Structure 1
Amino acid sequence: MLDETLDDAKERMSATVEALKREMAGVRTGRAATGLVDNLRVDYFGSEMPLNQLAQISVGDARLLVIQPWDKNAVDPIAKAIQNSDLSISPNIDGAIIRLNLPPLTEERRRDLVKSVKARGEESKVTIRSIRRDAQDMIRTIEKDGDASQDDCQRAQKDLQKLTDGSVAIIETEAAAKGEEVMQV
């Protein structure tokens, strides 16, 4: 019972960390990165699809993303999705190829992005702590019901705290690294 509770907490914490990593990949830095548009949702023939399932995305140079749709009919919906996104980039359509020129970020915009990265990191840490609280409640219930000894439950609490500390450390490292990357000119 205790092992199942710890495994569930570990799985949920790992999922939270992975979600943060995916979200951080989409944060704009000074350089072009495919992560900016990979999961951009495109309305394609009535269904919402991620851009990376509709086109090949590549980095042309430090400030250029090249998007080559597999279907020429997807060019306009992709361009529309890019314009409607929060990227603030106008797509250049050249036949069946879409080019995204990324202008340099201003100092003010960089600071705003760092603030949002830190805020997202804090949200992830709150989620981790919520998972810990749920697992602690479950461990207390197991102990109260007499399904495990007090020593086993205390050991499980310590293991849970180690899991929490490890996940929070990973989140802090990811957020700090992304913040530094955004501030690089």
Structure 2
Amino acid sequence: MFGLWNKIFLIKPTCVLLHVRSASRLQPNSLASMQLLSTPHTYGRLSAKSSTFESCMYQRDIHTSSYLCKKKAKREKNVKKKSASQDDEFEAEDFPQSVDELVDMDALQSLFTATISDLQQEFASQLALRTSLTSFNHLPLELDNGKSVNLQYLAQVSMKNPRQVHVNLSSNPQYLPKVRDALQSSSFNVNPRIEGTSIFIETPRVTREHREKLVKSAKRLGDEHKNRIRDTQNSKLKVVKSVEKMFSKDAVRKLQDDILKMGKDFNKQIDDAVKQKQTELLKES
């Protein structure tokens, strides 16, 4: 039967127009075969006029595939738009009953405490007067995929002599420029030199100039961690501000003041840690 058809025209979602080369060549069985076009719960009606056959299939929920695709795309777009607009807001069923439920102060304190711990670890690994192999091994490197790894996972670090460090990157030579740049921008105060698949580093002498450079690095690290405190603090304040009209002004103001006070206290801890480290670095042994 299908060899007889020239064209199939979609007149509307519920009507298909079939043109055949010759009505006389259409066999009785072909009429039965055309019922295959109908789906369950679909009622077909065939009428013959000259060489044109029209099949009107009446079905309540018939849609074309392109129409379904457009509906699906529109639905996904609306879902994404709704998700983006409610990034820092609450769903109606999850809306807090009191202003104190907006921000978990214990969790916020834990985040700030972890920031202080990270700063202390960076002081120990990057601001030693006499740079050790451990300091180089723990040098953080950001890869092209956005992940951060320590140097020890990409290279073998060893002492070539008492004044020179050897970084062997023969297994990962593609990271030679990245490792060199990370060493130059670190607080180690070194000038790495690339030779083949290796990097050689002359360890600096403990001079007054070297100490002063480490002091500046301590301040830079402190400022970076204070920025982390501020960013976390601002994100919580943004959540409070987004629903401030739903609660009393006094309750909202108290929560905002508590967040600001906690951030201020931890920033003071950072300032104290930086000052202590700077005093330690400038102290002559």
Q: 1:1-185 maps to which residues of 2 (within 5 A)?
A: 1=96, 2-7=100-105, 9-33=108-132, 34-41=134-141, 49-53=149-153, 85-86=183-184, 87-88=189-190, 102-146=203-247, 149-185=248-284
SS at match of 2:129: coil
Does the C-alpha gap of structure 1 residues 42 and 102 become closer, same or farther in structure 2, counting only changes over 3 Å? Answer: farther
Percent same amino acid at aligned positions?
22
Does the C-alpha gap of structure 1 residues 122 and 54 become closer, same or farther in structure 2, counting only changes over 3 Å? Answer: closer
Q: CA deviation at 1:114?
A: 1.0
Find the aligned partners of 1:90 and 1:128 in 2 and give their Cα distance: 33
- TM-score, length of structure 2 as denominator length: 0.43
Contact map agreement 1:32 1:65 (CA 8 A) in 2: no
Q: CA deviation at 1:53?
A: 4.1
Q: What amino acid is the match of 1:5?
A: V
Partner in structure 2 of residue 95 of structure 1: none
Does the C-alpha gap of structure 1 residues 110 and 78 become closer, same or farther in structure 2, counting only changes over 3 Å? Answer: farther
Find the aligned partners of 2:256 and 2:113 in 1 and give their Cα distance: 18
Contact map agreement 1:117 1:179 (CA 8 A) in 2: yes
Q: CA deviation at 1:156?
A: 1.8
Does the C-alpha gap of structure 1 residues 31 and 106 become closer, same or farther in structure 2, counting only changes over 3 Å? Answer: same
Does the C-alpha gap of structure 1 residues 144 and 122 become closer, same or farther in structure 2, counting only changes over 3 Å? Answer: same
Q: What amino acid is the match of 1:50?
A: N
Find the aligned partners of 2:226 and 2:256 in 1 and give their Cα distance: 18
Q: Which digits, 9 at most, give the CA deviation of each residue in 1:35-74, with x for residues without a partner? A: 343135499xxx9852344689899xxx88999x9xxx66
Contact map agreement 1:6 1:156 (CA 8 A) in 2: no
Does the C-alpha gap of structure 1 residues 168 and 140 become closer, same or farther in structure 2, counting only changes over 3 Å? Answer: same
Contact map agreement 2:244 2:252 (CA 8 A) in 1: yes
Q: Which has the larger radius of gyration?
A: 2
Q: What amino acid is the match of 2:238?
A: D
Contact map agreement 1:41 1:49 (CA 8 A) in 2: yes
Q: CA deviation at 1:171?
A: 0.9
Q: CA deviation at 1:6?
A: 4.0
Q: Which digits, 9 at most, give the CA deviation of each residue in 1:107-154, with x for residues without a partner? A: 1232122123213323332442343333233223332133xx434323
Find the aligned partners of 1:138 and 1:48 in 2 and give their Cα distance: 29
Give the gaps of 5 or more residues in structure 1: 92-98
Does the C-alpha gap of structure 1 residues 170 and 107 become closer, same or farther in structure 2, counting only changes over 3 Å? Answer: same
Find the aligned partners of 1:79 and 1:137 in 2 and give their Cα distance: 42
Structure with the largest fraction of helix: 1
SS at match of 1:26: helix
